[in-house]
Amino acid sequence: MHRQISAPVGAPMMGNRNRGGVKASAARLLSLCGAFGAIALLGITVAKAQDAEPRSYSNTPVGLNFLIAGALYSAGKLAFDPDLSVADANFHSKTGLLVYIRSFDFAGQSAKFDVIVPASSFSAWGRVEGQPRQREMAGLGDPRFRVSVNLIGAPALSVKDFANYRQDLIVGISLQVSAPLGQYDSSKLLNLGNNRWSFKPELGISKAVGPWTFELAPSVTFFTDNTNFFGGNDFAQAPFYAVQGHILYTFQSGAWFALDGVYFSGGRTSLNGVKSDNEQRNTRAGFTVALPIDRQNSLKLSASTGITSRTGSEFTAVGVAWQYRWGDGY
């Protein structure tokens, strides 16, 4: 279990074999690469298209800054195409996150700008055609940037005026961009960075009924091609389609609890134009608890697990995050 998982798989594609053999080898390599690439994406970066994050479109007083430091532990198994000779494939990762958020006024409605920087240690292992393979890595992942704007139901308010605000229906939109700045080595199948851009537009709907809040957020994530994948190959991925839902209860103390669910599909990959049968259709569920400590500090705990999985990953994740806020009125 000390050899790297990337060692044996790329060679068949580099020789001058007949066209059918090359295509078969490419498709086989693609399925392996796509599955491991998907779990790296899911297990390391947190809060991608597949992750459930409640209260993303809640109203926030303008002029505030938020600094969040978080940690996530995730572990699980890889679900491969049954035609592949891959067995006992598992992974675990530890991820640290540093997040900065700034709220501002956009055309009279509240808006936010987020920056997320992940750093991870990751290990995956399994058997390929009966031979043990392992990959371990640590470093920075791809940073993400997001702008979210509430369209109705969340007027831009100062901290003082916000005390009288009561939510009804909020509708908002957001765009998240992932930049290819994380650790990447084209000689390896698994990397902390993806060497490509991604763009995730999302619609958010939030309805409050007394202490209860019901949220729904459909999204789609688009990817540019990685033109230097595993030794100079061209790796492409179809969009991910996702919808997440949350049921929240807010206590008078300001603490809140949420039940989270997310369904996502798509993400079929292709290598040098050869498509693989690895489209994902996965369902996850979990919960989030937020506990205010004082006016400026709060703590958030979360956990989630896979319910159904076609290909990609089945994993359990547990996270904790500390938040500090400051700005106008604080």
The one-letter amino acid at 97: L
Q: What is the C-alpha to C-alpha distance for residues 38 and 176, in angstroms, rounded to an integer? A: 18
**Residue 196: its pLDDT value, please?**
94
Query: Quick check: 98 pLDDT over 50?
Result: yes
**Residues recorded for the chain:** 330
Query: Quick check: 75 pLDDT over 50?
Result: yes
Q: Is 206 helix (H, G, I), strand (E, B) or coil?
A: strand
Tell which wins on pLDDT, 247 or 276.
247
Give the pLDDT mean for 115-133.
83
Least confident of 47-61, 113-127, 159-173, 229-243: 47-61
Query: Quick check: 216 pLDDT over 70?
Result: yes
Query: Quick check: 201 pLDDT over 50?
Result: yes
Give the pLDDT mean for 288-301.
96
Kind plus residue range of the DSSP H or E element containing 151? strand 144-152
Bin 99: left if φ > 0, else alpha if -120 < ψ < 50, else beta.
beta
**Residue 33: its pLDDT value, please?**
54
Tell which wins on pLDDT, 20 or 170.
170
**Residue 250: its pLDDT value, please?**
97
Contact 327, 64 (CB under 8 A): yes
**Residue 279: its pLDDT value, please?**
82
The one-letter amino acid at 86: V
Query: Quick check: 294 pLDDT over 80?
Result: yes
- Tokens 């009279």 found at: 108
Give the pLDDT mean for 82-89.
63
Q: CA angle, corner 141, sides to 75 and 1, nearest 5? A: 45
Confidence of residue 25 (pLDDT cuts 50, 70, 90): low
Confidence of residue 52 (pLDDT cuts 50, 70, 90): low
Model confidence, pTM? 0.84
Contacts of 135 (CB under 8 A, 6+ apart): 4, 5, 6, 36, 122, 123, 124, 125, 188, 189, 190
Bin 232: left if φ > 0, else alpha if -120 < ψ < 50, else beta.
left
The one-letter amino acid at 211: P
Q: What is the mean pLDDT of the chain?
A: 82
Kind plus residue range of the DSSP H or E element containing 34? helix 19-45
Query: Quick check: 5 pLDDT over 50?
Result: no
End-to-end CA distance of the chain: 53
Which residue in 116, 287, 325 sits closest to 200, CA to CA? 116
Give the pLDDT mean for 33-48.
44
Contacts of 279 (CB under 8 A, 6+ apart): 238, 265, 266, 267, 268, 310, 311
Tell which wins on pLDDT, 22 or 231.
231
Confidence of residue 312 (pLDDT cuts 50, 70, 90): low
Least confident of 12-16, 36-40, 198-202, 214-218: 12-16
